[in-house]
Structure 1
């Protein structure tokens, strides 16, 4: 069996590790990736030390079912060196986490080779995949064709949108983006999510002296991680969800049971969550920092299950409930993807000093002589520099993968999901990572690792002959 993996970021690492851990007859694996920074993807390449992983180690393991895998690689000494004192957990630079991904991938390749697999890396971009008889062919940007029996698309997440037509590009790596900004310049950071937090914290770490403004439509900041607790949900579980006629009200009922058993009030919790849409972001940030040690489980349960059960739940919800959730998309993202306390504390210091401000209700940003002008509900704001820190929408197509996605859809191998992302239409095609169509929040490492394990099982459960038969049947049905 010949497996083609297009992309070599975290999704590909999760898939390769799962293939190496599982038992399967040997075949051939070809990975297509033009970047010199293999296995890191966009988020975990070389960058400033201030650009941190935004989650504790227990949910950053790329090996599904082994939450201690990353912590074991990190080791006690490095963990102590990067301890977030408020969180009580190590929070490392993303480039160091990229080292973990690279080490995991390289160990997987060694293990696969030892089992008789032939593995090769092609330093070219996969730009098309088409049918050729009973097989598939991956075409690369150097004009070569590579036959495959199964194809896994692991191209990562999308690129930030340029909402205001400023020609603003992806800010990562921040090392190069921020180096172009004078130390005294007034800076506008477009967005208020995790990317914007990275930008602000990194500006401060570089000693930036000019004022900084976070500008966005909502002004909402990410929630703040709380210290992990040795608690596992007993009502909001996969088994209970599987037994439901899934609706938002039914899911809220499970959460109500969960909180009641812990002695917590569901109505109070729900009101606090919804208040994020109207509460002053600085006041809320201060309250969130004060609640890092709070022992109540509500937020922790939602944050865990948003990624572990969220994709399955989203597919089962009636359309009316999906629309209800989408109306609170920014809130859901803020809750499901919090910032680490060390970054929250840095933001709080900047707010309190007056160097940082948060501006909501932004309607227009335009280039003017000598800089930029922001127009919002509270009047105009001028700055010398702008950084686009708008988070890419979930399931957005990365710019470099657009030709590939176009070819997959044109060949009938996949269809674009109406809410974004790609859905395989052929049993030989698999999509791993944020490009997989469906959920309305961006995939995290737990979801990517789980998808890698499911895909590895699908790739190895059917021999090449059975795959070819299925492919032939697909062609006949067409």
Structure 2
């Protein structure tokens, strides 16, 4: 692809790097209802065959399910039942005996949601409203008032606007494990196809990290017939919680006179939970209210308090906020009750290769003595390494080296303003680049769940349309004046 191919004669080219859910959603909402300025072209750069799947929804593992009921998932906020309608149209429940959770609600396999998004994007691609460029971007550099993007195969494209929709970098490998890098029984990225294939059914497994990804690993191993002992560790020994009773509404107001400190916010949340329990409700209602009001709550906090929350409170928030599907929760509970799974509050102090396995020394929380375990495989599920996002891909490194990007002070992605434009190292907003999705989490606060990512995609699309409308209005005014 060449720059001329993309832009056409005198047109504006918007290039979205990343065609997972975030990038697909931005593209879909950019061209929705024909509101995009005439002459503008939308190109999504994504090496996968279909748009909308990304890391999260390209998995083919039947054990991997969406973590919220299907009725809360949609590409279009104005059409909340769109995914449910797709399920009915395609009869995707056929052959999926585990579709319905114990709460009576559908939790389809994650790949099904990816298929849904791809199906909604295909007509837009066929009509020429969106162009899917199957490529992996290697370099990005300034080219006058635009950008020149080069793919790994040498092809290029010119962009007037860039949307960075790359959401989840690989986990950062714990330093203590660095000497083992390349060992076949050390799994550093479970999103890679066949990542768990080297783990035998009887293998003793250490999982480092204990969130949603760790739960997926346990469920995947169980489906593969694994029966060896699993030890799962995290610094605090927390694990993702399940869903509360269906049909309960959010409870609590955290926006009126919002808390200005991390400790003040915690006090209000705890008071809300006590109030809910007094009414016979669960903590889920209160945390749902915090989630729904999360962006306003976050906006009221000074940067120092945001950083304090990201450092000290985030682990507790994540295990309550990001809940596992009932089907996966059942697997975890069964493994715990049968003692095939052990969850510890610990971190790896040292590891040594011994024979065909590893001897691992665990530093246990609130305990002086270390604990030694012997395992056959180690799986890292510590979550995306957002702190090192600017070093995770060559083109991000280019933009950072040019001074256009910098890390968010919270450690939650890329620094950007309230209009989703990155803040350059000189402190100015970069008006022709936008950050979409979770990498803007440091500014928005609550921007990891799919409903919030969808809303942010709508925001970014509207922001681009607003800029283009202003630009074309200005050109028209200049022409009239001349």
Give your verdict on TM over 0.5: yes
Q: 1:100 aligns with which of 93, 97, 116?
A: 116
Does 2:202 match 1:184? yes
Instruction: State the match for 1:379 in structure 2.
Output: 371
Instruction: State the match for 1:277 in structure 2.
Output: none
Q: What is the alpha-carbon distance in structure 1 between the residues aligned to residue 299 and residue 219 of structure 2?
A: 36
Shift in Å, 1:296? 1.6
Instruction: State the match for 1:201 in structure 2.
Output: 219
In the alignment, is the contact (CA less than 8 A) between 1:157 and 1:395 conserved in 2?
no
Instruction: State the match for 1:133 in structure 2.
Output: 144
In the alignment, is the contact (CA less than 8 A) between 1:394 and 1:441 conserved in 2?
no
Q: What is the alpha-carbon distance in structure 2 between the residues aligned to residue 458 and residue 84 of structure 1?
A: 39
Shift in Å, 1:170? 4.2
* Correspondence 1:136-155 to 2 at 5 A: 136-155=147-166
Which stretch has the larger CA shift, 381-390 or 120-129? 120-129
Secondary structure in 1 matching 2:54: coil
Identify if the C-alpha distance between structure 1 residues 322 and 367 changes in structure 2 by more than 3 Å, giving closer, same or farther: same
Identify if the C-alpha distance between structure 1 residues 85 and 396 changes in structure 2 by more than 3 Å, giving closer, same or farther: same
Q: What is the alpha-carbon distance in structure 1 between the residues aligned to residue 113 and residue 315 of structure 2?
A: 27
In the alignment, is the contact (CA less than 8 A) between 2:17 and 2:165 conserved in 1?
yes
Identify if the C-alpha distance between structure 1 residues 14 and 95 changes in structure 2 by more than 3 Å, giving closer, same or farther: same
Shift in Å, 1:300? 3.0
User: Alpha carbon RMSD of aligned pairs, Å?
Assistant: 3.1
Greater RCO structure (CA 8 Å; 6+ sep): 1
Q: 1:34 aligns with which of 24, 47, 50?
A: 47
Shift in Å, 1:99? 0.8
Identify if the C-alpha distance between structure 1 residues 244 and 206 changes in structure 2 by more than 3 Å, giving closer, same or farther: closer
Q: What is the alpha-carbon distance in structure 1 between the residues aligned to residue 303 and residue 389 of structure 2?
A: 23
Q: What is the alpha-carbon distance in structure 1 between the residues aligned to residue 217 and residue 240 of structure 2?
A: 14
In the alignment, is the contact (CA less than 8 A) between 2:276 and 2:286 conserved in 1?
no
In the alignment, is the contact (CA less than 8 A) between 2:390 and 2:396 conserved in 1?
no
Q: What is the alpha-carbon distance in structure 1 between the residues aligned to residue 138 and residue 104 of structure 2?
A: 44
Secondary structure in 1 matching 2:118: helix
In the alignment, is the contact (CA less than 8 A) between 1:162 and 1:169 conserved in 2?
no
Q: What is the alpha-carbon distance in structure 2 between the residues aligned to residue 465 and residue 137 of structure 1?
A: 24
Does 2:341 match 1:330? no
Q: 2:404 aligns with which of 407, 413, 418?
A: 413
Instruction: State the match for 1:364 in structure 2.
Output: 349
Secondary structure in 1 matching 2:52: coil
Q: What is the alpha-carbon distance in structure 1 between the residues aligned to residue 45 and residue 473 of structure 2?
A: 22
Which stretch has the larger CA shift, 316-325 or 353-362? 316-325
Shift in Å, 1:32? 1.4
Q: 1:20 aligns with which of 14, 31, 39?
A: 31
Instruction: State the match for 2:67 in structure 1.
Output: 54
What 5-or-longer segments of structure 2 have no aligned partner?
1-11, 365-369, 417-421, 423-428, 476-482
Q: Deviations over 1:356-382 (max 9, x none)?
A: 111222332513222112212362110
Shift in Å, 1:3? 0.7
Which stretch has the larger CA shift, 94-103 or 74-83? 74-83
Instruction: State the match for 1:124 in structure 2.
Output: 135
Instruction: State the match for 2:253 in structure 1.
Output: 235
In the alignment, is the contact (CA less than 8 A) between 1:157 and 1:433 conserved in 2?
no
Instruction: Provide TM-score, normalisation by structure 2.
Output: 0.79
Identify if the C-alpha distance between structure 1 residues 13 and 295 changes in structure 2 by more than 3 Å, giving closer, same or farther: farther
Q: What is the alpha-carbon distance in structure 2 between the residues aligned to residue 209 and residue 194 of structure 1?
A: 20
What 5-or-longer segments of structure 1 have no aligned partner?
270-293, 471-478
Shift in Å, 1:87? 2.7
Shift in Å, 1:251? 5.2
Does 2:410 match 1:436? no
Q: Deviations over 1:58-86 (max 9, x none)?
A: 33222234332222212285358443332
Identify if the C-alpha distance between structure 1 residues 254 and 61 changes in structure 2 by more than 3 Å, giving closer, same or farther: farther
Identify if the C-alpha distance between structure 1 residues 412 and 175 changes in structure 2 by more than 3 Å, giving closer, same or farther: closer
Identify if the C-alpha distance between structure 1 residues 235 and 316 changes in structure 2 by more than 3 Å, giving closer, same or farther: closer
Q: What is the alpha-carbon distance in structure 1 between the residues aligned to residue 166 and residue 31 of structure 2?
A: 20
Instruction: Provide TM-score, normalisation by structure 1.
Output: 0.80
How many residues were matched structurally? 430
In the alignment, is the contact (CA less than 8 A) between 2:209 and 2:380 conserved in 1?
yes
Identify if the C-alpha distance between structure 1 residues 110 and 468 changes in structure 2 by more than 3 Å, giving closer, same or farther: same
